[in-house]
Amino acid sequence: MRFSKDHEWVRVEGGIATVGISVYAQEQLGDVVFVELPAVGRQVKQGDEAAVVESVKAASEVYAPVSGEVTEVNAALADTPALVNEDAEGKGWFMKIRLADAKEVDGLMDAAAYKKHTEGQH
Amino acid sequence: MADPGSLKTTPLNALHRSLGAKMVPFAGYDMPVQYPMGILGEHLHTRSQAGLFDVSHMGQARIVGSDAAKQLETLVPGDYQGLGLGRTRYSLLLDDKAGILDDLMATNRGDHLFVVVNASNKEADLAHMRARLKGVGIEYLEDRALMALQGPAAKTVMAKLSPGSTDMVFLSIRDLKIAGIDCLATRSGYTGEDGWEISVAARDAEALARALLAEPEVKPIGLGARDSLRLEAGLCLHGNDIDPTTTPIEADLAWTIGKRRREEGGFPGHAIVMRQLKDGATRKRVGIKPEDKAPARGHTPVADLAGATIGEITSGGFGPSVGGPVAMGYVAVQHAQPGTSIQTIVRGTLRPAKVVKMPFVQPNYHRG
């Protein structure tokens, strides 16, 4: 699993990146009450606003950590947005992106580097 | 973000930190936005049990003198000369165009009015009162804390810690001993629930808060849940829902203008208020219920079914007790009737919504 500086995670299998927000990010947001997901088929570039996650208090953008075509979104979040809190790095995934450039993944942080990144934010 | 070193603190700051609160700058103060329970849990706890809120950042003042009510009436449309001893009334500080400078609660204490104003406006409000009120003293009560105990179990807690206090009715005040501490409490609040707002000497604030929090029904509640609770209760937040660009009529607060005040006038903007009462205003504050799951927050544009802009949301978010999004805002009067279908424009997407009556939850005030 790799992480972006904006707190998205990426897990790559067979050229498809599953994307979500980190456990740290969901802790900062608090109770997630709504998730707006991109249309399947949309082309996103690394750093584009790809989704919106809303807590009771505020709406926050979720950026595409990698470029490519959105092939699937997590339909379960429509009825159960709390999955993002309960299992951020598992059942609370947001979308799958067919990688346009696998090298982008190498530029993301590994778990140890990401942990350091979040500790720097306190 | 403001430099934390420049922020003011309330007498409960150390307690908030010891309870694990997430602190944020608000109106120049270092305030708890939530505790480890989280906004959703804190909101629901307040509706089912009781929550304790630190609102010491708000301004508490006394207007002292035999003419206090008469003088305050020169700045607000509320009837304070007709307000009974020990009773509290909500009103609005207006400018000459009937714009709302602030909202306030003022209580008849016999030889003075006890006034509570918003944190963000308190300096401006005090300066305004000092400049405009004649023959009365304005005392800012800087050494007092203010906390609110809110929720259906508030009366259970008060029955235990302040025997005899629970026969107080909504919008009345009494000097009470709560857990042995001298307090000045009104039966009022900002959540739509029964409860008390309790003014206490700063030096006693932490002991009082600890005594209240020691009761099993009571949990500490932050500003996040305070906002979602008041939104569901349909209550205005000055700076969001009312401000100097909105009049009491546009804001659907005509009920705050006493009959005698309408007839006699003598408050700023009286002519404008009377004209809008007679002819109607061009826009009105209404409840807005999004019909899908997307919250529509402040500044979200509101459109008619053809997509033409008809107004704007001023407060909106997720209502935990409603279990979905809730909002309020201003729409052109022809769309202000409850039941009217409208649309919100959330991040460029038109979403269905309805104009609805507020509050979104049934109030639980103790009217006696």
Cβ contact, residue pair B224, A57, below 8 Å: yes
CA–CA gap between residue B171 and residue A120 (Å, rounded): 49
CA–CA gap between residue B130 and residue B294 (Å, rounded): 45
CA–CA gap between residue B269 and residue A13 (Å, rounded): 67
Residue among B293, B317, B347 minimizing CB distance to A56: B317
Chain B's closest residue to A57, CA to CA, is B224
Domain coordinates of chain B in residue numbers?
A: 1-280, 282-356
Mean per-residue pLDDT, B255-265: 96
Residue A122 has pLDDT above 60, yes or no: no
Residues of A in contact with B227 (CB under 8 A): 57
CA distance B318 to chain A (A): 5
Among B91-95, B324-328, B358-362, B364-368, the range scoring the smallest mean pLDDT is B364-368
Residue B2 has pLDDT above 50, yes or no: no
Residue among B33, B38, B297 minimizing CB distance to A31: B38
Residue B263 has pLDDT above 70, yes or no: yes
Residue among A31, A34, A56 minimizing CB distance to B293: A34
Class of domain B1-280: alpha beta
Task: Check residue B4 and give its pLDDT.
Answer: 58
Q: How confident is the prediction for chain B on average, in pLDDT?
A: 97
Residues of A in contact with B34 (CB under 8 A): 30
Interface of A with B in 17-36 (CB under 8 A): 30-31, 33-34, 36
CA–CA gap between residue B25 and residue B31 (Å, rounded): 6
Domain coordinates of chain A in residue numbers?
A: 2-104
Cβ contact, residue pair A54, B318, below 8 Å: yes
Q: For residue A91, what are its two tokens? A: 């059942």
CA–CA gap between residue B187 and residue B194 (Å, rounded): 7
Q: For residue A98, what are its two tokens? A: 């067919």
Q: How confident is the model at residue B298 (pLDDT cuts 50, 70, 90)?
A: very high
Residues of B in contact with A55 (CB under 8 A): 39, 318
ipTM of the complex: 0.90
Report the alpha-carbon angle B289-B295-B300, nearest 5: 85
Q: How would you classify residue B68: left for phi > 0, otherwise alpha for psi between -120 and 50, otherwise beta?
A: alpha
Domain A2-104 sits in CATH 2.40.50.100: yes
| B18 closest CA partner among B206, B226, B165, B148 | B206
Cβ contact, residue pair A56, B347, below 8 Å: no
Residue B1 has pLDDT above 50, yes or no: no
Residue among A52, A54, A57 minimizing CB distance to B39: A57
**For B135-178, how does the pLDDT look when each residue is reduced to its tens digit (9 = 90+)?**
999 999 999 999 999 999 999 999 999 999 999 999 999 999 99
> Residue B67: helix, strand or coil by DSSP?
coil
CA–CA gap between residue A117 and residue A107 (Å, rounded): 14
Task: Check residue A120 and give its pLDDT.
Answer: 78
> Dihedral sign, CA of B218, B220, B125, B287?
negative
Residue A47 has pLDDT above 70, yes or no: yes
Interface of B with A in 52-91 (CB under 8 A): none
| CB contact set of B85 (below 8 Å; sequence gap of 6+) | B108, B109, B110
Q: For residue B298, what are its two tokens? A: 């402040």
Interface of A with B in 47-86 (CB under 8 A): 52, 54-59, 78
**For B216-238, how does the pLDDT look when each residue is reduced to its tens digit (9 = 90+)?**
999 999 999 999 999 999 999 99
The answer to whether the CB of A44 falls within 8 A of the CB of A98 is: no
Class of domain B282-356: mainly beta
Whole-Å CA distances, B50 to A79, B12, B150, B188, B204: 29, 18, 5, 14, 21
Residue B281 has pLDDT above 50, yes or no: yes
Cβ contact, residue pair A31, B293, below 8 Å: no
Chain A's closest residue to B39, CA to CA, is A56
Residue among A52, A56, A59 minimizing CB distance to B40: A56
Cβ contact, residue pair A34, B317, below 8 Å: no
Residue B353 has pLDDT above 80, yes or no: yes
Q: Does B351 touch chain A (CB under 8 A)?
A: no
Mean per-residue pLDDT, B72-92: 98
Residue B215 has pLDDT above 70, yes or no: yes
CA–CA gap between residue A26 and residue A89 (Å, rounded): 10
Task: Check residue A57 and give its pLDDT.
Answer: 86
Question: Percent of chain B beyond pLDDT 90?
Answer: 97
